[in-house]
Each structure stands twice: as C-alpha cells, then as structure tokens.
Amino acid sequence: MSGRRVGAITRRLLQGFRRDRRTLALLFVAPIVILALLGYLLRGSSTAPNVGIANEDTGPLGAVVAGSLHQSSHIDATDIDASAGDSKLKDGSLVAYIVLPANFSQQAQAGTIAPEVHLEGSQPGQDSPVLQALQQSLISIAGQGNNIHFAPNIHYLYGGPNFDTLDYFGAAFIGLVVFFLVFVITIVAFLNERTQGTLERLMASPLRRGEIVVGYMLGFTVLAVIQSIEVLVFSLAVLRIHNEGNVFLIFGMEALMAIAAVNLGIFLSMFARSEFQAVQFIPLVIVPQVLLSGVIFPVSSEPGPLQWLSNVLPLTYAVNGMRDIMVKGADLTWSSLQVDVAVVAGFFLLFLVAGTATLRRRVA
Amino acid sequence: MSETYAVNVDDVSKSFGSFKALNGVTLRVRQGEIYGLLGPNGAGKTTLIRAICGLVEANDGSVTVLGQRMPNVAVLRHIGYMTQQAALYPGLSVEENVAFFAAINSAEAGVKAALELVHLYDRRKSVVSTLSGGMRQRCSLACALVHRPDLLLLDEPTVGIDPQLRVQFWDYFRQMAADGTTLIVSSHVMDEADRCQRLGLIQYGRLLAEGSPADIRAQGGSPNLEEAFLNLAGRRES
C-alpha cells in the first residue's frame, strides 16, 4: 500500500468538500442543531401530565388522598368538578381525572376503596404516572386501617387496557412513512429531470410550468396512493394497530400527506444541484418534523417556543389528524379534524404554488 | 422588414454574475435558412440559443421569434430544441421518449416518421440507457423534430455521430430548410460551417462576423474557414 496514493485520495476528498459549503454545514452544524433541539425538547418539557381531582367524599379520607395527589411529583393536579371531567379530557386540557366518591371514607372503613380513574387513553405513556401517583397517595391512608383493598375503577375515554405503544405510534407512523418515502423519491426524481437536461427541454416546449408540476404530482400520487393502501393494509391487518376510525378517512389523510410530500419534494428540488445535496434535505426537513410534530413527544408537553414551531409544521396537523381518526374515532364532523385536514391541504397548495413559481429558476 | 425574419436578435446582452455570456449580439435569420453559430467552447453559443427559445431572459436587447417577442409560451409550439446534452429519459425506450415529446407538442402522429428519419425505428424498443452515445444523439434529434417545428434549434447536434450519419443529418436539415423550416445549428467544428447558408462567428459573447461561408472567408482573408475565423478573432482582440 502506497501512503502517497492513499494520501492523494484523502486529499482529493477533502478538497471537494472545501467547495461544498452545504455539505460542510450538514456535517458540522446539523448535529448541533438536532441535538440542541432534542435537549431542549426533553429537558425543557413539562413532563408531568395534567390530572383533575374531583373530591366528592363527605368523610375525611378524600381530602387526605387529594392532598397527597396535589403533592405528587408524577402529576400536575388541579381540582375540578367531576361533571366537567370528560369535556376536559376531550379538549386535551387533562390526560386524566380522578373522582373520589361521596362514600370514599366509608369504603375505606369497609375495607375496599374504589376511586374512579378516567383516562384519556390515547397516549399510553401518560397513563402510568397517573396510576402511580394514585397508588402512592392511597398508601398514605393504608396506615389508617387494616386489610384495605384497593380497587380503582378505571375508565378509558379512548383506547383501552390493551392499547399499547404500537397503537399510539402506529397511527402517526402510517402517515410519516408515506410522507417521508414519497418526499425522498420525488425530490430525487425531479432533480434527475433537471440534471439530465430533460427539464430544460420541457421548459422549451409549450408545456406550462403548472402543467409540469401537476403532471408530476399526479404521477407520483398514483404511486403514493398504492403505497398508502399497502401501508394501511399491513398496519391494520398484519400489525393489528388499533383503529376506531373509518378506513377510507385514514386513507384520505394518508393520500393528502403523500400529495403534500410530492409538492414539497418538487419545491425543494429547486434548491439542490445534485442528488447528494437533495439527500441532505432529509435531516434538515424530516428530522425536526419527526421531533416536533408530536410523532414521539406530544406537542402539548413541548417547551412553549417549540410549540410555536410545531404549530407551523405540516406534519403536526397530519399526525394529529391520523391519531384523532385512528385512536379517537374522529370523523369529518369533528372540528379538530376539519382543521387538520384543512391545514395539510393548505400546505399541499402552498408547496404546489411555490414549486410552480420557482420552476423557471435554474433550469440548466 | 422584421416579419421576413424567423429570428431577430437585437443587441442582446446576458450576464451571469460578473461573467458576460452575451455582449450586444445582433443577428437575423431568414425563414427557411440554415444559420450556423460557430465559435469555440464557452463562446456564448448555447446561451444565445437558450435566449432565442426563451429559457434565458436577456438583460438588455430583445429576441423576436416568428414575429413574437420572447419569452412566449405560444411560440414554443413551433420550436424544436435539441440540447447539447442528449437530454432523454434513460429508463424509457427510444419510442417512449419520442412519443413523450410528441405528446407534449400534440404531435403523436409524427413518431414513426421521426424514428425512421434518425434510423432508430428498428431499435425503437431499446431502452435509452443501453444505447451508444451516437444513438442517443439520434434519439434526441428525433425528439426535437417529431412535431415538425418551424424553427429548429440544434445545439451541437452532430457530436458523437459517425460521418455517414452526419451526412444524412445534413441532407435532412437541407430538406427541412427547403420545406420552410428555419434551422440554427451551433457547432465548434469548422467543417460543418460550409453546410450552412449563413454563419455567425461568436467569441467572448460577441458576434465577430456574419455572412455566407464565402463572405467569412473574404472577411478573414483566408480560403480556409478555420484560419479566417482565427484571423477575425485575432483582429478583434488586437
């Protein structure tokens, strides 16, 4: 092995990077940005779930348990009226509420205490701190009587005892997988059109810019729709991901995400000169969206400034919509789903217009 | 009178950053004429062709094609453009490529004739990525003329084509010109210049000289076109 020849290869490689500032930025700036984002997301998050306490006990023990729940570090407890509990679960202001019934103290004296625990249920990770906090607070009254049996009455607004992590993530990932793959394929294919010179030919033909973009969009949409069907069938029939919603509505949301991804790919291909540069959009575009759109961490638990950022990302609305349909059984009469569909459709139109408007630039 | 010209380039300048690709170029090409744009690599030939078909908007001056100021999408229906690079879809067959360019020009009926013209009808099912460089050029030419345009812009069309086929290409170019098609052919190969009715010599983005091959020889003071070109280029520089 010749050190000079090996050195020549190493030198050639580094010389190439010297003139490719974008790649250098990706190598040295992107990791810091992504890690900083992740650090801020995890350390700055308010991780304790909001839990409502409705103490209806006429005896003394209810107040003891409620006090203990307020002290718990596992949850962020607030006193509520039991009748308002379900609506607070639905609007997302609470992840659970606990009702200590009027005869709670009497139950304890009889040896069995049965507080009612109402869980929102769509985020399995948030159920366990609630149950843990309740268990610890009940221990505080265990010393006051012998042979007390704890039998909490657990109700789920969505999901159920068998609703697992895959059910929660699956709903988001069905859309994410389609969005990601369609985006990557579109950006590379459209860039090929540019680098192989055929786009220049198209621009010198009577084709209008809009016709090129819409033609591309429809072509990729055919593939994306087939992929969406495949992903959906596999998720529901093989993985048996929990689904409360209408299958056609899930498919519609997936297809809308795919079409938005096609247009985002076309638009961003305008800013890449090579496939190498196009692939660099993946960490820049996809990773922040995966971290901030609620796929992994609920948007409501993010630090405030990041929530602002999350609210301008298309994937946030797509993921929320998919979860609403599949976990909560939402349909188009739900105003939240109407907003999600409208925002994803709005982004699709925005990318379509942006892709068309920038097509004239840098044809060669 | 401008209406007698298929192409009218009037004092066109185009810069890319600090680089002046075209510097006050004025030329006129008559309908049915074969006009040769000659010059070394980087002289501005491709930029001029791109300005003619509206892909590049001039910083100064104007380009009029078939009576319409460019850029104009409606005029593009009547223009055929063969790029320097054989811009084709490598994953499609020869016939699929030509059919695609026919379809976007609403000229599906011309596919067979175009393939026969470039001697690729027998290879129409071949995938472009499996073809030689010369065959790709032929396929690219078929894509440019499948809709029988009124103006054919050919950017170095004969690069990589064997001499026999080159002769056939030029025969066909002449036939198209006789039928009223205007051709602008760029080349850096001087022996192609004699096949053109008029020539424009271009260097450093400027038109050095214009006229028939005989005119250029006279202006350059040499019976040899290449020498005449070098003489004209030298005079401009001195």
Q: How confident is the model at residue B237 (pLDDT cuts 50, 70, 90)?
A: low
Alpha helix segments (H runs only) across chain B: 45-52, 73-76, 94-104, 111-117, 133-145, 163-178, 213-220, 225-237
Which of A47, A49, A54, A45 shows the shortest CA–CA distance to A133? Answer: A49
**Cα A253 from Cα A248, distance rounded (Å):** 9
Q: How far is CA A292 from CA A262, B58, B139, B161, in A?
A: 21, 45, 49, 55
Nearest CA in chain A to B90: A196
pLDDT in tens, chain A (364 residues): 888 888 888 888 888 777 777 778 778 887 888 888 888 877 766 667 888 888 888 888 888 888 888 888 888 888 888 788 888 888 878 888 988 888 888 877 777 778 888 888 887 777 888 888 888 887 767 665 556 777 788 888 887 777 777 888 888 888 888 888 888 888 888 888 888 889 889 988 988 888 888 888 888 888 888 888 888 889 888 888 888 888 899 988 888 888 888 888 888 888 888 887 888 888 778 888 888 888 888 887 788 788 888 889 989 999 999 988 988 888 888 888 999 999 999 998 998 888 888 776 444 3
**Cα A336 from Cα A343, distance rounded (Å):** 11
Tens-digit pLDDT profile for residues B23-36: 999 999 999 999 99
The beta-carbon neighbor of B73 closest among A196, A198, A208 is A208
Mean pLDDT in residue range B58-84: 91
**Cα A173 from Cα B55, distance rounded (Å):** 42
Task: Say what percent of chain B tops pLDDT 90.
Answer: 55
Nearest CA in chain A to B71: A204
What domains are defined for chain B?
A: 1-78+150-158+182-238 (3.40.50.300), 82-148 (no CATH)
Q: What is the ipTM of this complex?
A: 0.88
Nearest CA in chain B to A190: B89
What tokens were used for A364? 């060669």
Q: What is the pLDDT of residue A321?
A: 92
Is a pLDDT exceeding 90 seen at residue B152?
Answer: yes
| A362 vs B: CB within 8 A | no
Is a pLDDT exceeding 80 seen at residue B68?
Answer: yes
**Cα B100 from Cα A97, distance rounded (Å):** 63
Contact B101, A205 (CB under 8 A): yes
Q: Any residues with CB less than 8 A from the CB of B235 and at least 6 apart, and which?
A: none
Enumerate the residues of chain B whose CB falls inside 8 A of the CB of residue A363: 55
The two most distant CA atoms of chain B are separated, in Å, by 55
CA distance A188 to chain B (A): 14
Tell me if residue B211 falls in helix, strand or coil: strand
Q: What is the pLDDT of residue A363?
A: 42
Q: What is the pLDDT of residue A147?
A: 67
Is a pLDDT exceeding 50 seen at residue B60?
Answer: yes
Q: What is the pLDDT of residue B236?
A: 61
Contact flag B89-A208 (C-beta cutoff 8 Å): no
**Cα B1 from Cα A359, distance rounded (Å):** 36
Nearest CA in chain A to B89: A198
Q: What is the 3-state secondary structure (H, E, C) of chain A?
A: CCHHHHHHHHHHHHHHHHCCHHHHHHHHCHHHHHHHHHHHHHHCCCCCCEEEEEECCCCCHHHHHHHHHHHCCCCEEEECCHHHHHHHHHCCCCCEEEEECCCHHHHHHHCEECCEEEECCCCHHHHHHHHHHHHHHHHHHHCCCCCCEECCEEEECCCCCCCCHHHHHHHHHHHHHHHHHHHHHHHHHHHHHHHCCHHHHHHCCCCCHHHHHHHHHHHHHHHHHHHHHHHHHHHHHHCCCCCCCCHHHHHHHHHHHHHHHHHHHHHHHCCCCCHHHHHCHHHHHHHHHHHHCCCCCCHHHCCHHHHHHHCCCHHHHHHHHHHHHHHHCCCCCCHHHHHHHHHHHHHHHHHHHHHHHHCCCCCC
Contact flag B83-A201 (C-beta cutoff 8 Å): yes
The beta-carbon neighbor of A207 closest among B54, B89, B104 is B104
Q: What is the pLDDT of residue B114?
A: 93
For residue B149, whether the previous peptide bond is cis, meaning omega lies within 30 degrees of 0, is: no
What domains are defined for chain A?
A: 50-156 (3.40.1710.10), 165-358 (no CATH)
The beta-carbon neighbor of B87 closest among A197, A206, A208 is A197
| A363 vs B: CB within 8 A | yes
Tens-digit pLDDT profile for residues B164-186: 878 888 888 888 899 899 999 99
Enumerate the residues of chain A whose CB falls inside 8 A of the CB of residue B153: 204
Tokens 């389609």 -> residue: A178
The HSE-up count of residue B100 (CA atoms within 13 Å, CB side) is 19
